[in-house]
């Protein structure tokens, strides 16, 4: 062997020993870094932080958050990040106690991407305040006993914000939000009850509700036949090419769609059952709205032939009642709002879920004020109203009647004339504009609207 080869071997051996020594020292200084049974540490926006651990049932240190050592003021850290795992993955909750620390408001601000929330809070958590955390900022971490009151106080903002979650610490996932998961038989029984009610009590079913019911039943059927993966693929293709309002609210989550239809975790049964339960609750709630707040009636078009020779007309209805918030000069009003993993991606979805009582609401949290809240509430209102309406847009020939089921209220209607069954066959570009429009009232028993002239 040449002198150069021997030198290379000695250098490689020495370098390998140095790496092993450094790795061993790092392990001694922070043994849990390499413990596969301990929840992994997550990334925060803090430039200097103190990590928070809790002792697990087996006495292991489980990481579940950090506080910013540079945010200490009046003896209490103002900025915290808590990490939680749900069936849809990891979520980071950035908690800001500055309003309480500076005695401005009895509120705590929480951000969970992409939403912001405001939480009613009477005071700084007393046991955390006496834990002297700001005097321990020279330490890299703080560990609490699992049963310690201070550890429960760290969790309290999340418990108030997400009342549907049952929280626990596990060694592999850290802090976990556990949600009620029904059995397939329970979901199946709920859907059968709803179907029976629809077919025996209603003589006209809303399209969107029937569409969501069908998709829910198809997804449940796919998971009842786990050996036939093509069934799940078929349902996932239908969902991918469906309009958003044709899907149950719980199926619209992109995180959920990834868990059930895509990626390595495709076919996640827990995620599917959770969404199926919420879909059944949504359909049940909307069914009650139909029975309590909608009327079946007729819409008739009877225009003299001298006024129009078109073969057909397109009728569009739009509810004109004021939504929950309609004043354009109040864009920053906060509204009741809670966090749930299935509905957390859009404010509109959260508001719909609360309106339909699909999530619990203890009244402690609100969506933080933002200009988009008005639009979100308007869209939520339209979603519910269109869900219980049989048809808001339909084709009709002159002299015909159309049976409709609509929520009670006032509607704006417009009439467009065309010569064929497709919109591209409009008589001319000028006639894309409505030939007639107006307002109708759908409030009396057995309403019958007749349009006799333009």
Nearest C-alpha neighbor of 343 from the set 179, 183, 193: 179
Report the side by side order of strands in the sheet with 409-418: 393-396, 312-319, 409-418, 436-442
Tokens of 18: 């140095």
**pTM of this prediction?**
0.77
Tokens of 321: 């009642």
For β-strands 401-407 and 294-301, DSSP reports them as antiparallel
Distance in angstroms (rounded) separating the CA atoms of residues 82 and 62: 12
Cis status of the peptide bond prior to 302, with omega within 30 of 0: no
Burial class (CB in 10 A: 0-12, 13-18, 19+), 242: middle
Task: Going residue by residue through the chain, which has 454 residues, state the pLDDT in tens, using 9 for 90 and above.
Answer: 444 444 444 444 444 443 333 333 333 333 333 343 456 677 788 888 999 999 887 888 999 899 999 999 988 999 999 999 999 999 999 999 999 999 999 999 999 988 899 999 999 999 998 888 988 878 889 999 988 899 999 999 999 999 999 999 888 899 999 998 888 899 999 999 988 888 887 767 788 889 999 999 999 999 988 777 889 999 999 999 998 889 999 999 999 999 999 877 778 999 999 999 999 999 999 988 888 878 888 999 888 877 777 778 888 888 776 443 434 434 456 788 999 999 999 899 999 999 999 999 888 999 887 778 888 888 888 888 888 887 778 888 888 999 888 888 888 888 888 755 454 444 444 446 677 888 888 888 888 888 887 7
CB 110 within 8 A of CB 80: no
CB 331 within 8 A of CB 371: yes
Task: Determine how many CB atoms are found less than 10 A away from the CB of residue 437.
Answer: 14
């Amino acid at each position: 062997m040449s002198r150069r080869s021997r030198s290379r071997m000695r250098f490689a051996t020495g370098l390998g020993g140095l790496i092993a020594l450094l790795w061993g020292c790092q392990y001694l200084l922070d043994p849990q870094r390499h413990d596969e049974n301990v929840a992994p540490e997550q990334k925060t926006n803090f430039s200097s932080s103190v990590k928070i651990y809790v002792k697990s049932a087996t006495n292991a240190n489980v990481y579940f958050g950090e506080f910013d050592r540079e945010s200490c003021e009046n003896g209490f850290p103002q900025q915290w990040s808590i990490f939680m795992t749900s069936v849809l993955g990891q979520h980071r909750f950035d908690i800001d106690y500055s309003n309480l620390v500076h005695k401005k408001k009895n509120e705590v601000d929480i951000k969970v991407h992409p939403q912001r929330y405001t939480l009613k809070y009477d005071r700084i958590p007393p046991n955390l305040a006496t834990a002297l955390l700001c005097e321990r900022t020279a330490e890299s971490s703080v560990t609490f006993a699992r049963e310690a009151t201070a550890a429960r106080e760290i969790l309290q903002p999340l418990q108030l914000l997400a009342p549907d979650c049952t929280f626990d610490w596990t060694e592999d996932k850290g802090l976990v939000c556990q949600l009620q998961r029904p059995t397939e038989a329970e979901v199946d029984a709920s859907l059968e009850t709803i179907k029976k009610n629809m077919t025996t009590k209603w003589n006209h079913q809303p399209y969107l509700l029937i569409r969501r019911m069908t998709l829910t039943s198809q997804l449940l059927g796919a998971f009842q036949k786990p050996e036939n993966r093509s069934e799940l693929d078929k349902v996932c293709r239908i969902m991918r090419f469906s309009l958003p309002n044709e899907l149950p609210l719980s199926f619209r989550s992109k995180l959920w769609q990834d868990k059930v239809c895509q990626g390595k975790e495709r076919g996640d049964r827990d995620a599917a059952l959770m969404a199926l339960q919420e879909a059944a609750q949504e359909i049940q709630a909307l069914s009650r709205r139909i029975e309590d707040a909608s009327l079946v009636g007729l819409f008739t078009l009877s225009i003299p032939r001298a006024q129009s020779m078109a073969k057909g007309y397109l009728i569009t209805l739009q509810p004109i009642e004021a939504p929950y918030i309609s004043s354009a000069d109040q864009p920053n009003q906060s509204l009741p709002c809670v966090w749930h993993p299935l509905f957390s991606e859009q404010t509109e979805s959260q508001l719909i879920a609360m309106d339909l009582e699909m999530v619990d609401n203890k009244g402690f949290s609100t969506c933080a004020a933002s200009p988009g809240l008005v639009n979100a509430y308007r869209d939520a209102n339209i979603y519910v109203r269109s869900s219980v309406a049989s048809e808001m847009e339909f084709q009709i020939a002159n002299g015909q009647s159309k049976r409709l089921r609509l929520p009670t209220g006032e509607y704006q209607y417009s009439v467009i004339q065309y010569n064929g069954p497709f919109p591209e066959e409009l008589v001319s570009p000028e006639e894309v504009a409505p030939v007639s429009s107006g307002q109708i009232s759908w409030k009396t028993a057995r309403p019958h609207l007749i349009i006799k002239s333009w």
